[in-house]
Structure 1
Amino acid sequence: MLRILYDGEIYAIQKVGGINRYFDNIISRLPKDFQPILTSVRSRNDHHPYHPNLKLFSYKRFGFRPGRLSYWLEPYYFQSVEALNNYQVFHPTYYSLLTQQKFEKKPYPVVLTVHDMIHEIFADVIDRDGQMAEIKRRAILAADIILCVSQSTKRDLLERYSLPEERVWVTHLGTEFSPNLSDGNEFIPSRPFFIYVGGRGTYKNFNNLLIAFSKAVSQVPDIMLCVVGSPFDSTEQSKIAEMELDKHIQHFGYASDSHLAKLYRNCIAFVYPSLYEGFGIPPLEAMICQAPVIASNTSSIPEVVGDAGLLFDPTSVSDLADRLLFLLEYPAERERLIAKGLEQAQKFSWDKTVGQTLQAYQYVVG
């Protein structure tokens, strides 16, 4: 029985999110004779991954008074959990730890997953004081094996760190999405629509999508853009009003997986204008749900989309507008892209991800 300790820092940082899903899938798909050990600050009743041999050590923050004492005791609780559990591999869920210890102090092999290099590439807007990049740097240098979620992330990592390449492995991601999710009675627009999914800040390049969509609307006034994600802030609302797009944009908030699958299944295309992604799961979801993909030609995105999407230069508004109009004008091209997308999506699965991760575990324990 191989015992892997997962420091659950990401479950404190994110309620939901891509990294949460990654570890949920890794842990729940481990072989039955493995034993995952997970530390967490969530209540035991909150969501955690399932495995028949899972040992969950939960410390509820501010679980008793005074709160300051509860918070002070927290790292000591997790340090004792680590000391008392005889594990063989340490796989933290993030670059900082619930124990508040340094990675170098770990007595067992460390496997670290690096999802992207946004803290380094977009330091001026995401990590101006470099604090997060420094925490991440220490974790990277202390790891025995680094798992990168794409060849693009591996290249970005090796450009910044003089590490032996054999220590850096690529384990692509997967998705649980299925076309069958789209059979519900959730609302979708009656007019032809494009769909955008996810965060919209900084490198996500949502502003260029608005400008390109406005150009497309000027030629095809009936179309809509459906946006799934956080509410529009005041700046976005002003821009949408200024471009006179109020009647052409519909916001769906945090749509359920089944609602999102139905939107994918019925859209003209899914649009992914991001300037950078470590992997990018939404294009994979879209292809599985038979949505044509219009996506940036940068970072890992071509690696995920392959030749199954219409790629464009994300710095060129006209390039994106042309792709939107092209699919409106040539519906036969949509069908070709849908078929190619289904084929491309078969290359990625969580079972493959877990299989490659298991190889890393077995490698570090010799």
Structure 2
Amino acid sequence: MLRCGGVARYFVELINRLPAQTTPIMLGPEDPATGITHPRFQYEAVRTRPPLKILRKLWHPAQHGRIGKRMHQQQADLVHWTYYQGLCRRPIEQSTVPTVITVYDFIHEAFPNTDPTGKSLTMKARAIDLADHICCISQTTYDELCQRFPSAANRASITPLGSGLADVHPAPLPTELAGRPFVLFVGRRGGYKNFDLLWRAWNKMKQQTPELNLVLVGPRMKPREQAALGWSHDDPRTHLYVAAEDSLLKTLYQHCSAFVFPSKMEGFGLPVLEAMINGCPVFASSCAALREVAGSAGYFFDPENVDELAELLIAAGDDSIVDRENKIAAGHRRADYFSWENTATQTIKVYEDLLKQDRVRHAA
């Protein structure tokens, strides 16, 4: 479902760090997974797209039995689901082998409009109930899991994400940005991602800092969104890079005056970590997960307060960010604390403990 982004990066980094004697098998859609270098990795493609889009509602349920049979044929020792449901929205089912899920956040619960039918919430609750172990990507997510699902607390642990882009070679800076200061936004823009706050702050202060540019990395902007924002592709001070490669993303992090992350809620906030490891100041909303990840390295603002963010943007444009070098140094230290090696080590420990318990049960 997701070719790039936090969840995809998490599993690529995790699979690549599994022990060499392990055979990771991924059941996925028709296109093979990318970025996985584990020597024994196997990709099992499952047809998820119907011959005609209008048949999707009929096609997906019809595929559930076939997908279940394919899973059973793999004879896995353990299953780690990438989300709260399987391919073609197949519900997670009771398994004869240990089952792991990862809980990323509670966005659907906090913002019901992201799941108007309630189907995702139902599948998530079922996945949490059936899992033998639940990996939470942050302390914030773990605390909320325990609050919302108290019975899951003794089956859960914290396995934080790692710092991304460390080994990526940066691409050349786009010519249209050469010699021009800019602030950077990365990710989807709708809903709780709260891009509207940044856009309003930008329009409030942009006349005061005529040299500053605004750079976005994220999905293509549809006509309705352009109209709602008043966005113009002809504006020489605003730039949108669609489906940017990691090499370009790293360059943008390294050259920006500041990275801005106004999200109202996150489970972790991987772009904040990516920004810190690449040495740029982080302007982040004061939601719990972003405070957890950025720590003393962040410049925090109220995700409802346009004026607070506008003041930070002015400082970025004037090159007057307070305590900038110390904050960047603190960001490097925070990034060192979060590593994919630690993520893999802690997750492998979860696997080993579950397999040991499973062997004991069978022996008994």
TM beyond 0.5: yes
Looking at structure 1, the residues matched to 115 and 288 of structure 2 have their Cα atoms a distance apart, in angstroms, of 20
Looking at structure 1, the residues matched to 30 and 232 of structure 2 have their Cα atoms a distance apart, in angstroms, of 43
Say yes or no: does 1:333 pair with 2:320.
no
Structure 1 residues 219-228 or 263-272, which shifts more? Answer: 219-228
Shift in Å, 1:133: 0.4
Q: Secondary structure at the match of 1:300?
A: helix
Count of residues in Structure 1 that have an aligned counterpart in Structure 2: 351
CA RMSD of aligned residues (A): 2.9
The AA in structure 2 aligned to 1:113 is T
Q: Among 26, 44, 59, which residue is 1:38 paired with?
A: 26
Structure 2 gaps, min length 5: 358-364
Q: Secondary structure at the match of 2:323?
A: helix
2:132 is aligned to: 144
1:210 is aligned to: 199
Looking at structure 2, the residues matched to 242 and 62 of structure 1 have their Cα atoms a distance apart, in angstroms, of 34
Report if the CA contact (8 A) 2:312-2:321 is conserved: no
2:246 is aligned to: 257
| Closer, same or farther: CA 293–111 of 1 in aligned 2, 3 Å | same
| Closer, same or farther: CA 183–21 of 1 in aligned 2, 3 Å | closer
2:217 is aligned to: 228
1:178-229 alpha-carbon deviations (Å, 9 max, x no partner) = 3863353543513221111110010011111111122221322221111111
2:95 is aligned to: 106
Looking at structure 2, the residues matched to 224 and 185 of structure 1 have their Cα atoms a distance apart, in angstroms, of 14
The AA in structure 2 aligned to 1:256 is E
Looking at structure 2, the residues matched to 301 and 317 of structure 1 have their Cα atoms a distance apart, in angstroms, of 18
Say yes or no: does 1:248 pair with 2:241.
no
Looking at structure 2, the residues matched to 292 and 16 of structure 1 have their Cα atoms a distance apart, in angstroms, of 24
1:267-310 alpha-carbon deviations (Å, 9 max, x no partner) = 11000000011111111111111111000110311111111110
Looking at structure 2, the residues matched to 321 and 362 of structure 1 have their Cα atoms a distance apart, in angstroms, of 49
Q: Among 49, 52, 61, which residue is 2:39 paired with?
A: 52
Structure 1 residues 237-246 or 309-318, which shifts more? Answer: 237-246
Q: Among 134, 143, 148, which residue is 1:155 paired with?
A: 143
| Closer, same or farther: CA 26–358 of 1 in aligned 2, 3 Å | same
**Runs in 1 of length 4+ with deviation above 6 angstroms?**
62-65, 67-73, 242-245
Q: Among 163, 179, 196, which residue is 1:175 paired with?
A: 163
Shift in Å, 1:350: 0.9
1:96-123 alpha-carbon deviations (Å, 9 max, x no partner) = 1248765442111111101111111111
The AA in structure 1 aligned to 2:15 is I
Equivalent positions of 1:178-189 (< 5 A) are: 178=166, 181-182=169-170, 184=172, 186-187=174-175, 189=177
The AA in structure 1 aligned to 2:132 is D
Structure 1 gaps, min length 5: 1-12
Say yes or no: does 1:118 pair with 2:118.
no
| Closer, same or farther: CA 115–356 of 1 in aligned 2, 3 Å | same
Shift in Å, 1:247: 4.1
Structure 1 residues 147-156 or 326-335, which shifts more? Answer: 326-335
Equivalent positions of 1:20-31 (< 5 A) are: 20-31=8-19
1:358 is aligned to: 348
Shift in Å, 1:91: 0.9
Report if the CA contact (8 A) 2:261-2:284 is conserved: yes
Q: Among 156, 163, 185, which residue is 1:196 paired with?
A: 185
| Closer, same or farther: CA 287–108 of 1 in aligned 2, 3 Å | same
| Closer, same or farther: CA 164–64 of 1 in aligned 2, 3 Å | closer
Report if the CA contact (8 A) 2:276-2:335 is conserved: yes
Instruction: Determine what percentage of the aligned residue pairs are the same residue.
Output: 35
Looking at structure 2, the residues matched to 322 and 332 of structure 1 have their Cα atoms a distance apart, in angstroms, of 12
| Closer, same or farther: CA 179–312 of 1 in aligned 2, 3 Å | farther
Q: Secondary structure at the match of 2:101?
A: strand
